[in-house]
Structure 1
Amino acid sequence: MTKFTPGLLLSEMFFKEIIEKNLKIDFPHLKYSAGLIGAGSEVLGFDTPLSADHDWGPRIILFLSPKDYKNKKIILEKLTKKLPKMFKGYPTTFGRGNKKSHGIDIYTLKSYFEEYLGLNPLKMNHLDWLILSEHRLRTITSGKMFLDDLNVKKIQQKLLYYPKDIWFYLLAAEWQKIGQEEHLAGRCGILKDEIGSQIIATRLVRNIMSLCFLMEKTYAPYSKWFGTAFMKLTCTKKMNPLLKNILSAKTWKVREKYLSLAFTELAEMHNNLKITKPLATKVSTFFTRPYLIISGSKFADEILKNVKNKAIKKTRIGSVNQFLDSVDVLDYNDRIKKLKVLYQ
């Protein structure tokens, strides 16, 4: 049995040992970029042997200039004719979607980013940032270029993280979500609705985790890899045990205890950012009711004072990633663009 090789490493070896050599022979003057960015668990570094059952294998994205792209068919034919059937124990033709194919994709920079992100990443405004899939941003910046004559790395650098104004806005929006629900787990508990309390607490755990990604300026991937990526954050050592206790709690009072500790840790993380005046890190009661809260909306209010772009301060809904879970929207650029109207 072949020892597992992570897909990003496998693809880099595939390029250097097969693709690059053949391009030098057949197209010695060709200027191009080649690497692996975009879709795929291997791009994120999260692939395992299980990943190899579909949409996985030695593959590259080849970027050409508009002039050379006219010869795409010729270049692809030359490359595929010289492909070995196997590379490092893995087939070079494998399942991709509903068919088997080689792992070589050819684009211009313009055609790739318009297809994958739905825009030109070098000409983005604040609305573009707010409707971009955070998962896709992570897959662009996590990928690797093996050769880069066309400077794809410039685009990766541009997308490395949100601009400061957008970052402040997203932080405020996530704190706002906490402020809207932080008292409800206890309210359900008082009514002996433990299932309702658990559901709300789980939503709050996700909000807490999302804030951790934002505070550490790290794009959060989609649901399958959300927890895996979270475990790589600096705050995980302190935060993870608290979140586990929230999720495993059998009663609302135990749930509240660990939610309160997590809120305090989160508030301390916020103060360490030094982006607002120091805010209270201890929980307090919700009016005269016996529920403990951190007053998330107060954090939102203070952070929003930093946002200079008046247009994005009209609403606190955040980016599409903060109010939308539908794959049937987030994975379709034509649909997601229609959400710009929510910010106008």
Structure 2
Amino acid sequence: MMSKIMALPFIKGLDLCEQFFQEAVRPLLTHHFPNLRYAAGRLGGGSDVLGFDTPQSRDHDWGPRGTLFLAEAEFAELAPAISDMLKHELPFTFQGYPTHYGYHEDGTLNLQFTNERPLNHMIKLTTAVRFAQDYLALEAIRPLTPVEWLCLPSQILATVRYGRLFHDTLGQVTQLRQQLHWYPHDVWLYLLVGQWTRLGQEEVFVGRTGDVGDDLGSRIIASRQIRDLMRLAFLMEKQYAPYSKWFGSAFANLDCASQLILIFEQVWQASTWREREAALNEAYGFMAQWHNQLNLTEPLATEVDFFYERPYRIINCDQFTAALQQQITDPQVLALPRGLGNLDQLSDSTDILSKQNRFHHFKSLFDPGSSQLDS
């Protein structure tokens, strides 16, 4: 069965889902529930939501699907009736793809051809508030506190911002997406501080490890610095970074990527720590000049210098953290532990960043009354 699916012409998942809604789902809703007010879209988990799906993606969690958002007051009554109607009236296939789903042993979805009803469709019914609670671990749709922003992984935020809303006569999902489009200004500054802090913590170690003959350690740290420079680039372009599988693909779409990748290649190809350090300093200089172009602070030095009296050259990332910190005026953001950043800057564990029921457990990290990480 999978070989039959793989033989079908590939269509990007977001396009497939939107066509499925417009041509198959929407007419049924209009006919059976003519007065229904709702929103419909493809938001949440899945490579297709971010636009990175390929023909290979069709083997799991992919296909004609979506989410219907109902009014909270009507959800209990209408959700079962709508779902049941779709089970019995959706077409068996759309664009050649089954609309019926089964499950792999690991619980992921797989498309299955059938000619029997009821269909196990993947039109999820919820409300905007329930979606916020279940997917974002937010108690309500309202402006977020700084700590709530910091506890939301950028992968999760990306799948809300970069997904697609097909229809919305309720307005709540549109409101939620507008709220989550990007961080408030001072939270953004705080994240920039956190990212420059991470870079500053290890900028000298590429030279120090190389100087003692630890070339492997120098290469590892250089790679870590490249990843953190990439994360800084996402922040500076005001784009949410996805998790590791699509991190490089998304970075390649940034405006700065064509220039930075050439510099990164020099770092990877360097045969000595001095060459590696010089290439990394070119990348730091690029970011420093970009920082000055953003006019977030007074212009800062973009040249490298020696690290005290030692033979290692750095750009001194601490100057950027200090200057950016001085621009923060929101009392709630100023009360946060300085330079700590958000969950993405603290961890790359999938078990933390993809488990919604765990986000809120990290709020105490940012509590100035209990945190021991404040400088």
How high is the TM-score relative to the length of structure 1? 0.97
Mapped partners of 2:109, 2:297: distance in 1:
53
1:155 is displaced (CA, Å) by 1.3
Shift in CA distance, 258/99, structure 1 to aligned 2, threshold 3 Å: closer
* 8 Å contact from structure 1 (residues 7, 43) kept in 2: yes
SS in structure 2 opposite 1:205? helix
Whether 1:89 and 2:109 are equivalent positions in the alignment is: no
1:196 is displaced (CA, Å) by 0.4
Mapped partners of 1:164, 1:234: distance in 2:
21
Mapped partners of 1:111, 1:157: distance in 2:
17
* 8 Å contact from structure 1 (residues 55, 95) kept in 2: no
Structure 1, residues 68-102: CA drift from partner, whole Å, max 9, x if none? 21121111010121122221021112355345542
1:154 match: 175
Mapped partners of 2:62, 2:268: distance in 1:
33
1:103 corresponds to which of 106, 118, 122: 122
1:224 match: 245
Structure 1: give runs of 5+ residues left out of the alignment.
Answer: none
Percent of aligned positions that are identical: 41
2:164 corresponds to which of 118, 140, 144: 144
The one-letter code sitting in structure 2 at the alignment partner of 1:177 is: R
1:4 match: 10
2:346 match: 323
Whether 1:292 and 2:299 are equivalent positions in the alignment is: no
The one-letter code sitting in structure 1 at the alignment partner of 2:219 is: Q
Mapped partners of 2:240, 2:83: distance in 1:
34
Whether 1:115 and 2:134 are equivalent positions in the alignment is: yes
SS in structure 1 opposite 2:221? helix
RMSD: 1.3
* 8 Å contact from structure 2 (residues 39, 168) kept in 1: yes
Structure 2: give runs of 5+ residues left out of the alignment.
Answer: 1-6, 111-119, 368-375
1:40 match: 46
SS in structure 2 opposite 1:102? coil
1:203 match: 224
SS in structure 2 opposite 1:124? coil
* 8 Å contact from structure 2 (residues 62, 109) kept in 1: no
* 8 Å contact from structure 2 (residues 60, 108) kept in 1: no
* 8 Å contact from structure 2 (residues 75, 126) kept in 1: yes
Structure 1, residues 275-331: CA drift from partner, whole Å, max 9, x if none? 111111111111111111110111000000011134433321101110111121222
Shift in CA distance, 99/182, structure 1 to aligned 2, threshold 3 Å: closer
Mapped partners of 1:30, 1:126: distance in 2:
36
1:25 match: 31
SS in structure 2 opposite 1:290? coil
Whether 1:80 and 2:99 are equivalent positions in the alignment is: no
In the TM superposition, 1:255-274 aligns within 5 A as 255-274=276-295
* 8 Å contact from structure 1 (residues 121, 159) kept in 2: no
How high is the TM-score relative to the length of structure 2? 0.89
1:332 match: 355
The one-letter code sitting in structure 2 at the alignment partner of 1:7 is: G
Whether 1:343 and 2:366 are equivalent positions in the alignment is: yes
Mapped partners of 1:278, 1:118: distance in 2:
39
Structure 1, residues 202-241: CA drift from partner, whole Å, max 9, x if none? 1100111011111111111111111111111111121111
2:322 match: 301
Q: How many residue pairs get matched?
A: 344
Mapped partners of 2:291, 2:338: distance in 1:
22
Mapped partners of 2:292, 2:141: distance in 1:
32
1:59 match: 65
The one-letter code sitting in structure 1 at the alignment partner of 2:189 is: F
1:66 is displaced (CA, Å) by 1.6
SS in structure 1 opposite 2:125? strand
* 8 Å contact from structure 2 (residues 61, 109) kept in 1: no
Mapped partners of 1:209, 1:318: distance in 2:
15
The one-letter code sitting in structure 2 at the alignment partner of 1:141 is: R
